[in-house]
Structure formats: C-alpha cells, structure tokens
C-alpha cells in the first residue's frame, strides 16, 4: 500500500477504481486500464455496505464501477471505457473510423441491452421458463457468431471495445458450469468458442478474471437454489 | 450529390426525431423515409436485421442503428457545429446523462402512458425524482450543452413526449412551479429554429389524444 501512495503523491495524475471482484462491469474497467498500462488504485466495495466515497462519487446510481481521475468521477462502464480511450490515447480500444466506431458501440450496447439481462434471467429461472431463456440466449449468441465471422477478436487482430464489453460471455460460461446448464457449447458455437478461448488466454484479460473457484462458488450461492434437475 | 444520407424513421418517435435534429443542426441533406411500424419495409429489415427498429441512418449505403450511436456517428463524420463537447470528461458527462434519459426517464414515462389512468402515483413520483435530478444537472445553464443545444438536449427530447402524455392524461408531472429550470429549458428548445422544425407538440397531442384520449383520468 505504501508503494501506491508514494506513486499517487509523485505522479501527475491520480486514478482510482471503485469496483467489486465479481462484477462484469467492474472487470471491464480493469482490463482497459491494464491494456493501456495506466496505474490505478483499486478500491473493493462491499455492496451491502457502500463506502461514503462511492456514494459521494456516484450519488445518482450508487453503483460500481466508478472511475475517479484527478478527483473527477465517471460512472457507467461503457462511458468509462470511452473516457479511458479518449484520455489515454495509446493502445486504442475503439477503432478510429467513425463507421467502425459506430459498429463497436452498437455491439457493446447489444451486450448490455440484450445478452446481459437474458444471462441474469437464465440464472434466476428454472424448468420450462429457463429452457425458453436458454433458447433466447442461443439466438443472441448466433447473432454474435455471425458478427465475429473469421476475426480473431470482435476488435479485429487485437482485443477491443466489443471484446471487453463481451466479457459478459465469460460470466455466462461460469454460470452455465456453476448451475449445470448447457448454453454456449463448442459444437453449437465453434466460432464463439474459439474467441472465448483466445480471450481467456489473453495476458491482460486473464489477469482481470475473477478467480475461477471463487467465482463458481459465488454464482452457486447467489443463484443455486433455482438449479433445474438435469 | 457527393454523399447519400437516408434516414428511416417514424414521425412520432423521439428517437427518430433526435436524428433529424442532429442532421439539421449540421445542415446535412438527407432523404427521409417514413416507416409504418406495423408493416416494416424490406429496406428497414435489411438495414437493421438485429433489432428491426427505427431510426436507422444510411450513409453511403452503410447502416447505423440505435439513436445515441447514430448521433455520435453524425458528430464524428460531420465535424462542424459539434453536438458533443471536445473535452473527454465533458463528453463522459454528456454520455452519462443521455444514458440516464434513455434508461431511467423514458421507461417511466412510457409506463405512465400505458398505465391507462390507473396506478399512476408511484410512477409520477419516480418521474419527478428523475426530473429533479435533471433540474440540478441543468442548473443555470441555457441548455444541457451550455450556450447551445447539444447531445444531452437532443436526447432529452423525450421530455416533450412526457409533456404530451401529461396533457393527454390530465396529469401534473412536469409543472412550472416544481421544475422552473426545466420549464424554461423546454420553452427555449421549442423556440429553437432547428428543434421546432423537428418536434411538433400540436401534432403529437392530436395523435396521442386519439390513442389515449379514451383513457383520460378523471381529475
């Protein structure tokens, strides 16, 4: 800890991230900061006992993640990602071309507006309802597969904005294992499966993943009672 | 023409109108295609196969969907008369507030419109909480964008739809005494040369009265 405070005293800028270890949104910000080699102080929040600092920096939503840069807070993960990309311009995570940027924003929005709510629903439902949600998710995954096509990552040759936003899929894979569901399988989604392997093998991305065993337990505890009988 | 710009929209959609405001603010010529949402054109389905929704902007044959995504595309493609600030922090704030409008205010306003005159109370208070938040964000500024109309003002066009709903259903939600700042702001917007070309309160009111008139709550 002493090393960090020394850094913040002597550094030109101060970057803090308020997050939680198992939050898909929080982890996105860690990936972006690490991709750009931005030093930051990380504050783990207890969501059942939010810190005064968090409530001060995000009074409207009272949620993590919040990035505080030189004392100024930014909330909402996709907004934070764009802020990071525009502030630290090396190793860009968004494309430069306006049309490609628009496509990246469209697909990141798709992850949050469609995939994420469905992923939460699937974890909380059971029986016939769960089967229906699984089908819905699989349709979405098919859509994502055709968007990915032959590319290494959604961002092309390297991990980009959409790949970071698509970390939801990694959480989905954890949930399917923890709760005994079959949603994203290699046979049904060979292209996406390949992408997923590349993502979790990526040096930066894997540093930012919640520890697997803990993550599995976390999901089991949170959603476990709705596990369907197989 | 050097470039071809088409907008697939629907006159009564605030999302569609946002794009018209942005294009007009930048003086961009475009062809407008009015969609019948109960009978969507093959073009719309081709250009937005994922969501099948309007608005869709077509620029040189390439489609962009999702109104806030389109607004940013327009701002980055035609760089004069910018609608987003230049500073990254100010941009983040603008994006934050636009998101707030779409994710918090709009769903609540829609719920009130569909609540058919019953069970309004919780919703009205919720909307007023959001309006209070917006009022303190606006503060002394002329527009959310500062001296001139910007990204957040364009996204806040949904407030006009709220005004139409409140008048149609005879509700008191956004009133001058409760929200003097917002009240002044929307009058400024109604006076704005470009904005008033794109949002017709009279036409919306007439249409909403037909749709919701039978559901007017007794006061």
pLDDT in tens, B163-179: 999 999 889 999 999 99
Consecutive H or E run containing B207? helix B201-212
pLDDT, one tens digit per residue, over A61-111 is 999 999 999 999 999 999 999 999 999 999 999 999 999 999 999 999 999
Query: Which pLDDT does position B213 carry in this prediction?
Result: 63
pLDDT, one tens digit per residue, over A181-221 is 999 999 999 999 999 999 999 999 999 999 999 999 999 99
Residues of B in contact with A102 (CB under 8 A): 64, 69-70, 72-73
* pLDDT > 90? residue A158: yes
| pLDDT score for A184 | 97
pLDDT value, residue B3 = 75
- Best probe of the A interface among B92, B101, B102, by most A CBs < 10 A, is B92
B93: nearest Cα among B22, B152, B21: B152
What pLDDT shows up at residue A167?
97
Residue A8 has a pLDDT of 46
A125 and B CB contact within 8 Å: no
Q: What is the ipTM of this complex?
A: 0.94
Q: Quote the pLDDT of residue B1.
A: 47
**B187 contacts chain A (CB < 8 A):** no
Q: Which residue in chain A has the smallest CA separation from B130?
A: A60
Of the listed ranges A1-15, A125-139, B158-172, the one predicted with least confidence: A1-15
Which pLDDT value is given to residue A64? 98
Task: Kindly determine whether residue B96 and residue A98, on different chains, have CB atoms separated by under 8 Å.
Answer: no
Residues of chain B with pLDDT under 50: 1, 217-219
pLDDT for the residue B218: 44
Give residue A10's pLDDT: 45
């Amino acid at each position: 800890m002493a090393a960090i405070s020394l850094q913040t005293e002597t550094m030109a800028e101060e970057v803090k991230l308020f997050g939680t270890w198992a939050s898909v949104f929080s982890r996105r910000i860690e990936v972006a900061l690490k991709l750009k080699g931005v030093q930051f102080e990380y504050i783990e929040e207890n969501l059942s006992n939010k810190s005064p600092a968090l409530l001060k920096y995000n009074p409207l939503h009272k949620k993590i993640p919040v990035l505080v840069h030189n004392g100024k807070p930014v909330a909402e993960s996709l907004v934070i990602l764009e802020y990071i990309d525009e502030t630290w311009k090396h190793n860009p995570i968004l494309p430069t071309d306006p049309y490609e940027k628009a496509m990246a924003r469209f697909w990141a929005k798709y992850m949050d507006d469609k995939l994420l709510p469905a992923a939460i629903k699937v974890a909380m439902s059971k029986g016939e309802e769960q089967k229906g949600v699984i089908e819905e998710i699989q349709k979405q995954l098919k859509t994502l597969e055709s968007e990915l096509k032959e590319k290494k990552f959604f961002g092309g040759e390297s991990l980009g904005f959409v790949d970071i936003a698509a970390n939801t899929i990694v959480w989905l894979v954890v949930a399917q294992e923890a709760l005994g569901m079959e949603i994203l399988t290699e046979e049904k989604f060979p292209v996406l499966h390949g992408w997923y392997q590349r993502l979790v093998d990526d040096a930066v991305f894997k540093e930012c993943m919640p520890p697997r065993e803990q993550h599995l337990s976390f999901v089991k505890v949170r959603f476990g009672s709705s596990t369907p009988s197989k | 023409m050097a470039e071809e710009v088409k907008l697939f929209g629907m006159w009564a959609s605030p999302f569609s109108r946002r794009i018209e405001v942005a294009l007009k603010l930048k003086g961009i010529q475009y062809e407008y295609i009015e969609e019948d949402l109960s009978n969507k054109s093959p073009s719309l389905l081709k250009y937005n196969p994922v969501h099948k929704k309007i608005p869709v902007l077509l620029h040189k044959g390439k489609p962009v969907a999702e109104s806030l995504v389109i607004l940013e595309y327009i701002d980055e493609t035609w760089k004069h008369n910018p609608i987003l600030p230049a500073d990254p922090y100010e941009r983040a704030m603008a994006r934050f507030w636009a998101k707030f409008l779409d994710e918090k205010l709009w769903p609540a306003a829609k719920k009130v419109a569909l609540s058919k005159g019953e069970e309004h109370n919780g919703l009205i208070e919720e909307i007023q909480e959001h309006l209070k938040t917006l009022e303190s964000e606006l503060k002394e500024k002329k527009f959310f964008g500062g001296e001139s109309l910007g990204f957040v003002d364009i996204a806040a066009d949904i407030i006009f739809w709220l005004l139409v709903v409140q008048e149609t259903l005879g509700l008191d939600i956004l009133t001058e005494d409760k929200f003097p700042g917002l009240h002044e702001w929307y009058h400024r917007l109604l006076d704005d040369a470009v904005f008033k070309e794109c949002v017709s309160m009279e036409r919306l009111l007439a249409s909403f009265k037909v749709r919701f008139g039978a559901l007017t709550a007794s006061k």
